[in-house]
Amino acid sequence: MADRNPPEDDLSNLRRRVAKARGEADSTSRPPDSAASLALRFGGEFGAAVIVGALLGYGIGYLLHGESWGLLIGVGFGFAAGVVNVVRTARAYNEANPPDPNAPKLPDDDDD
């Protein structure tokens, strides 16, 4: 009885066999995100970066008695960090979900 596989191994083995019988590949990829979830992610990452930058700038300004210069510089750095985060997220999304090269082209105003 000591040579039996634990239940987790049996379950993963069963899942692998069912996937093979269905003809499914071993993929862990998720379906592409919807436009709304992507927009919320962009906005959330940008907003969080600006807020964190502003709070850090305010704290540094408070400690150094720099009036509002710390806050101003912190908001600037937070804005820059937010833009970098949004660009990084958009690039990762485009690499994971490349556009279909066979998709019809949208008419351009200059093509008339």
One DSSP character per residue, 39-93 reads HHHHHHHHHHHHHHHHHHHHHHHHHTT-TTHHHHHHHHHHHHHHHHHHHHHHHHH
Determine the structural domain holding residue 81 and report its residue range. 35-98
Give CA 112 to chain center in angstroms: 38
Query: Within a domain: residue 25?
Result: no
The answer to whether residue 85 sits within a structural domain is: yes
**The predicted structure's pLDDT at residue 9:** 77
The Cβ of residue 46 has, within 10 Å, a number of other Cβ atoms equal to: 19
16 falls within a domain: no
Q: Is residue 56 part of a domain?
A: yes
78 within some domain: yes
- Average pLDDT in the 83-109 region? 85
Residue 9 lies in a domain: no
CB atoms within 10 A of CB 109: 5
This prediction has a pTM of: 0.62
* Whole-number average pLDDT of the chain: 83
Better-predicted residue by pLDDT, 37 or 111: 37
Instruction: Count how many domains the chain has.
Output: 1
In a domain, 59, yes or no: yes
Check residues 62 and 15 and name the one with the higher pLDDT: 62
